[in-house]
Amino acid sequence: MSISKTYLPKETEDKWYSYWLKHNFFKSVPDEREPYTIVIPPPNVTGVLHMGHMLNNTIQDVLVRRARMKGKNACWVPGTDHASIATEAKVVAMLKERGIAKKDLTRPEFLTYAWEWKEKYGGIILDQLKKLGASCDWDRTKFTMDEELSEAVIDTFIHLYKKGLIYRGVRMVNWDPQGKTAVSDEEVIRKEVNQKLYYIKYQVSSIKYQDQGADDQNSNDLILDTKYLTIATTRPETIMADAAICINPNDERYVHLHGKRVFIPLINREIPVILDDYVTMDFGTGCLKVTPAHDLNDYELGQKHHLPVIDILNDDGTLNEKAQILVGEDRFIARKKIAVLLEEAGALAKVEDYKSQIGFSERTDAVIEPKLSMQWFCKMGEMAKPALDYVLNGEVKLIPEKFVNTYRHWMENVRDWNISRQLWWGQQIPAWYLPNGEFVIAKSEDEALKEAQLKTHNLQLTTADLTQDPDVVDTWFSSWLWPISVFDGFKDPNNADINYYYPTNDLVTAPEILFFWVARMIMAGHEFRGQAPFKNVYLTGIVRDKLGRKMSKSLGNSPDPLDLIEQYGADGVRVGMLLCSPAGNDLMFDVSYCEQGRNFANKIWNAFKLIKGWEVDNSLANPNEIAIEWFDSRFNQALGEIEDNFAQYRLSEALMATYKLVWDDYCAWYLEMIKPAYQQPIDAVTYKATVAYFENILKILHPFMPFLTEELWHDELFGERDTLDCCIVAQLPNIGEINTQLLSEVEVVKIILTQIRNIRQTKQISPKEALELSVKSNSGINYQQYEAIIAKLGNISVFTAVNDKVSGAVNFLALTDEFFIPLNESIDPVVECARLNKERDYLLGFLKSVDAKLNNERFMANAKSEIVENERQKRADAEAKLKITEQNLADLAC
RNA sequence: GGGAGUUUAGCUCAGCUGGUUCAGAGCAUCUGCCUUACAAGCAGAGGGUCACUGGUUCGAACCCAGUAACUCCCA
C-alpha cells in the first residue's frame, strides 16, 4: 500500500472525532484524579462560528487536551447563551416572513415559536466546534434557558432582592428603538460618526421680537446679538423637549442673559436660562440646551435644577404628541425636516460638520437613545469590592497582567446594572404587581399571591389581581451564573460535580467582555459560593485582518472558518491561529498562517513516510549512538521550554518551540544524521529509538494538532494498540536528563556543516562531490566522535586531525578550531587577504570594547563577578582567534 | 476629557532582575538545487540608528522625562 504524498486531513478528521466520541474520551465524571475544568464562554445560540470563536476555542482545546495528557481529569463544559435581544430579533423576523406580527401573538404563543426556532436553528455553532476538534464533554451541554439554569436565575433575583441589592427605579437607560428594549451600558458600542452641528437661535423673551434677516452672521456676531442666544446641537429634533438653556456663570459674554427666559423656535415655548459651571465655555457657543429626557448629562443637570422632563419620543424612535410638530416622524427624518423648518423660520444660524461618538446597540446596531424609564437595577458597589480583591490579591490571575489596571478602574467606578429588558425571550422577572401599584417578588404565582395577601392584609386577593412584570432579565444575568449553574450548583449546592469541578481552572475569553461577563462571574462566584469561579483568565486578542481592521460581517473581511478547515485542515488552521496569537494582543490574521500550519502537518506526515519505508536489519551495528544521545537531550531541553511557555500561557511560543523541535531538530538534523543510504536497511537500535522519539513527538504535538497525531498514532509503525490506547489520552513524557556538553558540541558541528555547505555554494561545488576536511583543534573538542555525522552530512571523504595548518586550503573557524578543505583550484590571495583583514579588524574592534570594560575601574567595581568573568572569557577567545587570523595573514604575506 | 497599552528586520512577534561584539525567531525575500520522506521541499545568503529627543549609569532595546504616531477602555 502506498502512502499518500501529502497529509489528507479530510480522510482523518471525521473518523477520529467519531472515534473519540464513541469511546467517551471527552467525557468527565468526578474521580480521584485532580480536576481540570474549563467552562466555555457560551456563544449565542443564534451564532455561527467566526474567527473569534475559532481562536478562542482552539486555545481552550489546546489547554484541555494538554491537561488530559498530564493525567488530569479534564472537563470542558460546552453550551450556548439564549441571547435575548439577538434571538428575539431573529424570531420576530422569521414570523414577519410568515406574515405574523409579534403584537398579534400572546406571550406563550410567541415563546412557542421561539423555542421551535431554537430547536431547529439554534446551536449550529456547537456542531461547527466539532469540526475544529473541540474536545468538549458534550453530555454536559447546557443552554442558559434550560430549566435548572432558569430556575437559578429566578432564585438569584429573589435572593438579591431580599438582600436589598435589586431595586426598581426610573433611570436614564440606553434605549434600543429597534429592539424596543433597554440595553446595558456594556452593550452600547461607541463609534465615531460624522455629524452636523446645528447652530440654532433662541429669541430672548424680554426683547421685542423683530429683525429676522441676519443669516450671514459669524459666531462672534451671534454672541454679541442680545436679541437672540445661539446654541449648538447635533440633535435639533429634540429642541421641543428643551427644559432650559444653560450657561456658565463665569462666562462674561452672557452676563446679560442671567435671569432671562428664551423661546424655543417653532413652538415658541418659553424656557429659563440657568447658570451652571458644568457648561464648557469654549465648546460651541457656550450656550447649552438642556434636554433632560434625551441626554444623560442633561438629565442630571435637570435634576439639579428641578427642571421638568419632557419626553417627545416614542419607544420606536418616532416623535410623539409632546413634540407638537413632526409628530409620528422618525427621529432621523425629523432631524432633517426640522433643519428645513428652522431655516425657513430664520432660526438656523449655521451648520457645521462635526465628528462625535455615538452609541450603537451591540445587538441591532440601532443608534441608542437615552431614555427615562422604569427598570430593574442590580446594585454593584457592594459586590464589586470582593470581586476586585480576588484579582488584586492574585487569587484570580488575569493574563496578560495589564488588564488588572483596567479591571480595577472599572470596578472602582462601577455603576448599577440595568437588568431588565423589554422582551419576552428570557427569564421573566419574578415580580407581581398589585392593583394598588405595589409589587411582590416571588418564585411562582402562588407564592406571589401569598406574599401579596400578607403584604396587603387582604385575603380576598386572587391571582387575577396580580400581573407579572412583562420584562425579562438581561441575558448576562444568566451568564454570570454560568460556572456555577452548569454544575447545578444553585438547586443542589453540595452535589458531587460542583464540589469537584468548582472553582474551574482557566477561562478563555475576549477582553471586551471582561466587565460584563468576567467581572460579574467573579461577583456571583463570591456571592453564591464564597469562591472565585476560576483561577486564571486568559484574555485573547481581537482577530483583525491584515490591515488591522476588526473582522466583521459587514466589512466582509472575515474568512469563513469552516472554509479554512476545508482548505487547510483543522490542524493546519489551529496551528495557523496560534502562530499569530500573542496573549492579550490583537492578532493580524492572514490565511498564510494556515498555509504554514498545513505545511507543518505535511512535514510531519513525510517524516512518518520516511521512517515507515525503512527496513530493519537486526544484524547491523548501531552507528548512530551520538545522534541518538544528542536528540534525546535536545528533546528534553525542548520539553522544558514548552512546559515553561505553557506555565506562562505563551501558547504561540510553546507551539513555535514544538515546531522547531520537529522541523529543525528532528527532521532536518536528526533524521538526516541517521538516515540510511538509499534502499539500505537500518539497524534495530536506531530504528527503535527513532520510532520512540517520533511517538513522543506525536504526544507533544497532539494538543495543537489532534487529528494528524491520532491518525499516525494508530499506525502499525508503533505496534499493536488497544482500542483505548489513543494519542488523546497518552501521557506526556517527563523531562529527562540533558547532556549540555553534547548539545553545545553538536552546535559546533552544525556550524562546521553550515560552513562546508556555504563553501560548496560559493565555490559551486556539487553536494555530490566528496571533499576532504582537516581540523586543527584548539578547543579540546574530540571531533572523532562526530566524524561520522560530519562525513555524512557534509559529504566528507577523509576527515583528519592535524597539528599544523594546511597551506593553500580553504579554511574557516568554528569557535577557535581551524578547519581546512583542500581544493583543486588555487585560492585568490587578494580575496583571502581581504577576508582575513576584515576578520582581524572586527576582532580588534571587539577586543577594544572588551578591554574598555575590563580597564574601567568602575566597571570592575560595580559589575557582578560572573559578568566580569564572562568578559575575560570573551577576551581570551577573541585573542585566540586574533592570533590565528594574524598567523594566516602573515603566511599569505598580505 | 480621564485611564491603559503599543511602537524592535518587508510582515507577525520574542528579547525574563539593565551586562556574551548596535539584537533573535517564524514567515516573506534573494541565490543554488526536481539530492527518490517532503518543491506544501532542501541548502545557503541578505535584511534592523530597537519611533524620536534628552537624562540616569562603567554599561540602555530594557530604567526615567518629554515628543510623535497608532490601538483599546471609560466618560
| Closest nucleotide to A546: CA versus each C1' | B11
3-state per-residue secondary structure call for A722-737: CCCCCHHHCCCCCCCC
Q: What are phi and psi of A34, to 5 degrees?
A: -75, 130
Give, in Å, how far the C1' of B26 lies from the CA of A183.
Answer: 44
Give, in Å, how far the C1' of B5 lies from the CA of A399.
Answer: 14
Residue with cell string 461618538: A357
C-alpha–C-alpha distance, residues A210 and A348, integer Å: 16
DSSP code, position A495? -
Closest among A361, A484, A463 to A421, alpha carbons compared: A361
Q: Which residues partner with A700 through β-bridges?
A: none
Give, in Å, how far the C1' of B15 lies from the CA of A746.
Answer: 25
C-alpha–C-alpha distance, residues A481 and A82, integer Å: 14
Q: What is the CA radius of gyration of chain A?
A: 37
Q: What nine digits make up the cell of A852? A: 574598555
C-alpha–C-alpha distance, residues A373 and A394, integer Å: 40
| Closest nucleotide to A405: CA versus each C1' | B4
| pLDDT computed for residue A151 by the predictor | 97
Asked whether the predicted pLDDT for residue A221 surpasses 50, the reply is: no
Cα of first residue to Cα of last residue in chain A, in angstroms, is 64
Please give the mean pLDDT across all residues of chain A: 88
Mean pLDDT of A291-298: 85
Determine the Cα angle at A489 with ends A487 and A491, to 5°.
Answer: 120
C-alpha–C-alpha distance, residues A486 and A521, integer Å: 13
Q: Starting at the edge strand that comes first in sequence, how are the strands of the sheet with A771-776 ordered?
A: A796-801, A771-776, A817-821, A810-814
C-alpha–C-alpha distance, residues A517 and A44, integer Å: 14
| Closest nucleotide to A359: CA versus each C1' | B75
The full length of chain A comes to: 894
Between A47 and A787, where is the model more confident?
A787
| pLDDT computed for residue A216 by the predictor | 40
Give, in Å, how far the C1' of B62 lies from the CA of A863.
Answer: 17
| Closest nucleotide to A856: CA versus each C1' | B58
- Contact predicate A674/A682, CB 8 Å: yes
Q: Give the three-state DSSP class for A548.
A: coil
Q: Give the three-state DSSP class for A201.
A: strand
Q: Give the three-state DSSP class for A158.
A: helix
Asked whether the predicted pLDDT for residue A583 surpasses 70, the reply is: no
DSSP code, position A319? B
Q: How far from A616 is each of A372, A619, A673, A696, A743, CA to CA, in Å?
A: 82, 9, 17, 21, 28
Of all protein residues, which has its CA closest to the C1' atom of B39? A599
C-alpha–C-alpha distance, residues A6 and A3, integer Å: 9
* Tens-place pLDDT, residues A823-853: 877 677 777 887 888 788 878 878 877 887 8
Closest among A64, A138, A137 to A506, alpha carbons compared: A64
Distance of CA A126 to the CA centre of its chain: 19
Percent of chain A with pLDDT over 90: 54
Report DSSP letters for A555-597, one per residue: TT----HHHHHHHHHHHHHHHHHHHT--TTS-EE--HHHHHHH
- Contact predicate A826/A872, CB 8 Å: no
Q: What nine digits make up the cell of A390? A: 480576588
Asked whether the predicted pLDDT for residue A713 surpasses 90, the reply is: yes
Give, in Å, how far the C1' of B18 lies from the CA of A863.
Answer: 11
* Tens-place pLDDT, residues A781-793: 999 999 999 999 9
Give, in Å, how far the C1' of B42 lies from the CA of A606.
Answer: 14
Indicate if the alpha-carbon torsion angle A755, A756, A758, A759 is positive or negative.
positive
Q: Is it true that the peptide bond before A623 is cis, omega within 30 degrees of 0?
A: no
C-alpha–C-alpha distance, residues A320 and A326, integer Å: 8
Give, in Å, how far the C1' of B39 lies from the CA of A593.
Answer: 19
- Contact predicate A620/A635, CB 8 Å: no
* Tens-place pLDDT, residues A457-474: 989 999 999 999 999 999
* Angle between helices A787-794 and A625-647 in degrees, nearest 10: 90
Q: What nine digits make up the cell of A623? A: 552507528
| pLDDT computed for residue A623 by the predictor | 93
Q: How confident is the model at residue A206 (pLDDT cuts 50, 70, 90)?
A: low
- Contact predicate A481/A502, CB 8 Å: no
C-alpha–C-alpha distance, residues A584 and A607, integer Å: 35
Q: Give the three-state DSSP class for A76.
A: strand
Mean pLDDT of A716-744: 94
A144: exposed, middle or buried (C-beta count within 10 Å: 0-12, 13-18, 19+)?
A: buried
Q: Which of chain B's bases lie under 7 Å from a protein CB? A: 2-6, 11-14, 19-22, 25-28, 31-32, 35-45, 57-59, 71-75
| pLDDT computed for residue A844 by the predictor | 82
pTM above 0.90, yes or no: no
C-alpha–C-alpha distance, residues A273 and A243, integer Å: 9
Between A514 and A23, where is the model more confident?
A23
| Closest nucleotide to A873: CA versus each C1' | B20
Q: What nine digits make up the cell of A401? A: 497582567
In one-letter notation, the amino acid at residue A621 is: A
Give, in Å, how far the C1' of B28 lies from the CA of A373.
Answer: 57
| Closest nucleotide to A185: CA versus each C1' | B74
